[in-house]
Amino acid sequence: MNKEYKEIKTTITEEEANEMIEKVAHFFVDRSLGSAGIMLFESLHPLHGIASQALYFILPFAEMIFDSNQYQRFALMIQSDDYFKRLIKRIDELDEETNEERRNKARLKRQRRKNQRKAFFKKIFNKTNKSTESTEV
């Protein structure tokens, strides 16, 4: 194996943490898994420090699949209680925005269908009224 040794990161900057929070939050929300993501992270909240250390334990194997720097940044991010809470809050915010857009689209769709039905019945009843008026005369 001609692989270069990669240094293990021990700190994460605020900017890196915010970037990672956005990526993870968008990952869950874009796949319509916002509620599941919130539930997952809330259930893991008491163990987030241990989970971070477990991620470091499997780091040599994870490097084969994931980018080492991003993997370590994620492990550092979930180690901090503040970043962990901000991640949960951001997933909730993005999920709420997405659901609001869906509700608005569904509302517009219902309104269009309602208007189409009204126009259809108005057209039918206007023809019926005209034909009954001409037969009465």
Check whether 62 has a pLDDT greater than 60.
yes
Structure confidence by residue, pLDDT tens digits, 114-128: 999 999 888 888 876
Average of per-residue pLDDT across 6-27:
89
What is the model's pTM?
Answer: 0.71
pLDDT at 78 over 70: yes
List Cβ neighbours of 69 (8 Å cut-off, separation of 6 or more). Answer: 6, 9
How high is the mean pLDDT of the chain? 87
pLDDT at 48: 84
Model confidence over 100-113: pLDDT tens digits? Answer: 988 999 999 999 99
Residues contacting 59, CB < 8 A, separation 6+: 8, 68, 71, 72, 75
Cβ burial 72-85 (10 Å sphere, 16+ → b, else e): bbbbbbbbbeebbe
pLDDT of residue 4: 60
The pLDDT, as a whole number, for residue 5 is: 55
